[in-house]
Amino acid sequence: MSTTDTVLEQVRQAFERPTGGFVRVVDRLIRLCPESGLHFDHKQRLCRISLVGNGDGEKVEVTLRGFRAMLARFAVLCDEYRPGTFSPYGGDAEFVSLERPGEVFRAVFVNTTAQQCLTLTRSGDDNA
């Protein structure tokens, strides 16, 4: 099993065996986020997850309700880090997490009825 397979399998498990609701799922995704980042594309309760920059490479799919709630959690994290910089309907902003102290993450997402997607990447060290 490659590193890509291992990361994506762990992400799949985060959704299939959630503990503590979406706040905990988001925390786990942050812990699992590889250097390259993760991309989530959600359509009709099916979430396709891939590594950023992996092109047509390995993807995993999970049936998922509540994806928009997860996106809202990322919006809260971004707004806590830089108040007023993010909308619950989408945007591009950074945040820090207690799951990975000192690291800054970037969330780029759309959270509308027509489209739900997220790209989560690591931005570097916390300079705030």
Q: How many angstroms separate the CA atoms of 113 and 97, rounded?
A: 27
Q: Report residue 63 as tokens.
A: 């049936």
- Of the ranges 70-74, 116-120, 124-128, which one carries the lowest mean pLDDT score? 124-128
Read off the pLDDT of each residue in 70-85 and give the average, rounded to a whole number. 88
Residue 26 clears pLDDT 50, i.e. is over it? yes
Residue 107: pLDDT band with limits 50, 70, 90: very high
Share of the chain above pLDDT 70, in %: 91
Domain count, the chain: 1
Residue 39: pLDDT band with limits 50, 70, 90: very high
Which DSSP state fits 58? Answer: -
- Of the ranges 71-75, 92-96, 121-125, which one carries the lowest mean pLDDT score? 121-125
Residue 15: pLDDT band with limits 50, 70, 90: confident
Residue 1: pLDDT band with limits 50, 70, 90: very low
Which DSSP state fits 45? Answer: T
Give the distance from CA 10 to its chain's centroid. Answer: 13
Residue 119 clears pLDDT 90, i.e. is over it? yes
CATH of the domain at 13: 3.30.450.90
Residue 24 clears pLDDT 80, i.e. is over it? yes
Q: Which domain holds residue 69?
A: 3-125
